[in-house]
Structure 1
Amino acid sequence: MALKAFQYGFTLLSALWLGGTGLVFGSVLLLTIAFSLSLGTGVQITQVQRLVLGLVTIQGIAFPAIAYAYIKLRPVIRSKLRELISYPPDTGTFTIGVSVPSFREAAIVVLGYASAMVGLVVVAVIITTLVSMFGIETATNQAAEIGMENPDVLLLLIPASFLLIGPGEELLFRGVVQGRIRDYFGPISGVAIASVIFAGIHYPALSGGSVTGKLVGVCALLIPSLILGATYEYTDNIVVPSLIHGAYNATLFTGLYVTVKFSGELSSAAGVLSNSGF
C-alpha cells in the first residue's frame, strides 16, 4: 500500500516537474541569449523581440528537448528506481505517436477545433457574467498584450501558432506529461490532471488584474485543454492536438488583430480574446 501511494505521488510530482522544467529551461535560455546580446553588443532587446525569442527558446527548443530527454532517459531512471525501491517495470516502450493525420483524424481535428471555439464562446459568456456580477479585474495574456500594442506582431504569431506553439506545447504537455500521468491514473484522469497542469502553467503568462482574475483566466483554458487531451488520447497522434491548438490560437490572434487594427477602440471582444489564448 505504501509503495502504491509512493508511485502515485511520484507520478504526479514527476509530471509537474517535467512541465515546470520545460518552462524554466526555456526561460533560462531566453535570459542567457538576451544577456549575451546585451553584454556583447550593448543591444537591449525589445518586448517584441523578447516575445519572438521566447517562442523559439521555450516552445521551439526547451519543450521538445525535455520531451526527447524524458523518452531517452526513462528506461534508465526506472531501472535505477527498481533497484532502490522495487519500482515496477515498464509494461511497454513509452512512445509519442507522430504521423500524418488520416482522413478520420483530419475530421477529428475539425471537430476538436469547432468544439474549442464553442468553448471559447462559453468562456466569454462566463467571464463577462463574472466581471459584471462581481467586478472581477481580469488579467491579460502577455503575448496578446504585446500584440495589442504592436498589432503587426499578431501576424507573426499566427504562423507561429502552427509551427512552434502548438507542436512544442503539445509534445511536452500531452505527449509526455499526460502520458506520464496515464501510467498510473488511467486515461480519463490522465487527460483531466494534465489539463489542469497545462492550464496552471499559463498563470505566470498573465499580467495585470487581480489574483481572482488570473485564476478565472487559468480556468478558462480548461475547456480547450480537455479537448486537446481527449483528442490525443483518442488518436494517439500528437499531430492532431497540435493542429487543433495551432488553429485555436491562430484564430484568437487573427480576431485580436482585426479588433485592434480596424476598431477605433479596444472592444470587450479584445479582452476576451486576449484572456483565452494558450
Structure 2
Amino acid sequence: MSLHSRVPGPIVAVGVAIGLAAVAYGGGNIVAAGVAFGLASAGIELTLRQSFILSVVVLQLVFFTGISLVYLNYRSLSLSDIGVRVPGLEGWIVLGAGFIGMILLWFVASVASVIISSRFGIEQEQQAIFEMAQQDPFIFLLLGTLSLLIVGPTEELLFRGVIQTRLRETFGVASGLTLATALFALIHIGGFGISASGLLGVSVLFVVGLVLAVAYEYTGNLVVVAVMHGLFNATQATLGYIGVRFGDPEAMVLLAGAVVGAV
C-alpha cells in the first residue's frame, strides 16, 4: 500500500499546498540571497534597485513560475486547464469590478486595522519596502511595473491556478478558496513582520485576497485575476511613491502601506 493511499486526502491536499508555497517562497528567497552574496563576494555590489529587481526575478519569476510548471507537468495539466486564456467581455467586466472591490475593501480593512491598533495599543511597524523607498522612491515605481509584468501573473499562477485548484478539488469551493487565501496571506507575513501589527497586515491581505479567489472561481480565467492583482499592487505602489516622494512617509505607512509588503 502506497503512502498516498494511507494518508487521508485532506491531509495530502493541505500538505501539497503548504509544500508548494514553502518551496517556492523559501527557495526563492534563499537563492536570491545566495546570488546577492555571491556577487558581493566577487566584488560586485548591487544598488538598491538592482537588489530589488534581483529579488523579484528570482523569487516570483523563477521560483513561483518554475514550481508551478513542474507541478502542472506532474499532474499532466496544461496552462489552458487552469484558465490561461484571453478574457471575454464578462471576464473584463469582472476584472474591473473586482479591482474596484479590492481597492474599497483594502481601504476599509486598512482603516479598521489602524483603529484596532490604536484601540489595543499595537505599534504600527514600518515595512521593509518603505524603508527601501525612503532611500530611493523610485523603488515604488519599479514595484508597480514589476507587479504588472511579473508579481501579479506569477503569484496568481501559483496561489490561484495551482494551490486553489488543488484545495478546491478536495475541500470544495468555500473551504478550498478560504484555505488557499489564508495560505496566500500567511506566506507574506515576512513582509509585515511576525508581530501583532504583522498579523493585522496579513488579515487585510486575506480580505483582498478573497476577491481574487472568488473572481478566479467565477471566471475560471487566470488572466483576469493576474491583471487584477497587478493593477492592485501598482495602485498601492503609486500611492506609496506619492507619499514618500511628496508627502509624509509615516502617514503613508498607515494608508498605502497596509498591504504593499505582499511583494
Shared fold, TM over 0.5: yes
Q: How does 1:201-240 map to 2 (within 5 A)?
A: 201-207=187-193, 211-240=195-224
Amino acid at match of 2:83: G
**Is the CA contact 1:48–1:146 (under 8 Å) kept in the aligned structure 2?**
no
| Distance change (3 Å), C-alpha of 1:28 and 1:128 | closer
CA distance in 2, matches of 1:73, 1:257: 41
Equivalent residue for 2:252, pick from 269, 275, 278? 269
Which residue of structure 1 lines up, in the alignment, with residue 23 of structure 2?
A: 21
Task: Give ranges in structure 2 of 5+ residues lacking alignment.
Answer: none
CA distance in 2, matches of 1:144, 1:167: 23
**Is the CA contact 2:244–2:252 (under 8 Å) kept in the aligned structure 1?**
no
CA RMSD of aligned residues (A): 2.3
Which residue of structure 2 lines up, in the alignment, with residue 182 of structure 1?
A: 168
CA distance in 1, matches of 2:125, 2:75: 38
Q: CA deviation at 1:140?
A: 3.6
Which residue of structure 1 lines up, in the alignment, with residue 239 of structure 2?
A: 255
| Distance change (3 Å), C-alpha of 1:144 and 1:267 | closer
Which residue of structure 2 lines up, in the alignment, with residue 34 of structure 1?
A: 36
CA distance in 2, matches of 1:121, 1:4: 46
TM-score (norm 2): 0.91
SS where residue 232 of structure 1 aligns?
helix
Which aligned runs of 4 or more in structure 1 are off by greater than 6 angstroms? none
| Distance change (3 Å), C-alpha of 1:140 and 1:198 | farther
**Is the CA contact 1:191–1:226 (under 8 Å) kept in the aligned structure 2?**
yes
Amino acid at match of 1:231: A
Q: CA deviation at 1:10?
A: 1.0
Identical aligned pairs, as a percentage? 31
Amino acid at match of 2:57: V
Amino acid at match of 1:15: A
Equivalent residue for 1:167, pick from 153, 164, 169? 153
TM-score (norm 1): 0.86
| Distance change (3 Å), C-alpha of 1:169 and 1:141 | farther
**Is the CA contact 1:148–1:256 (under 8 Å) kept in the aligned structure 2?**
no
Q: CA deviation at 1:50?
A: 2.1
Task: Give ranges in structure 1 of 5+ residues lacking alignment.
Answer: 76-89
CA distance in 2, matches of 1:36, 1:267: 35
| Distance change (3 Å), C-alpha of 1:183 and 1:137 | same
**Is the CA contact 1:158–1:254 (under 8 Å) kept in the aligned structure 2?**
yes
Amino acid at match of 2:37: F
SS where residue 86 of structure 2 aligns?
coil
CA distance in 2, matches of 1:146, 1:52: 13
Which one has the largest radius of gyration? Answer: 1
Which residue of structure 2 lines up, in the alignment, with residue 193 of structure 1?
A: 179
CA distance in 2, matches of 1:71, 1:189: 22
Aligned length: 258
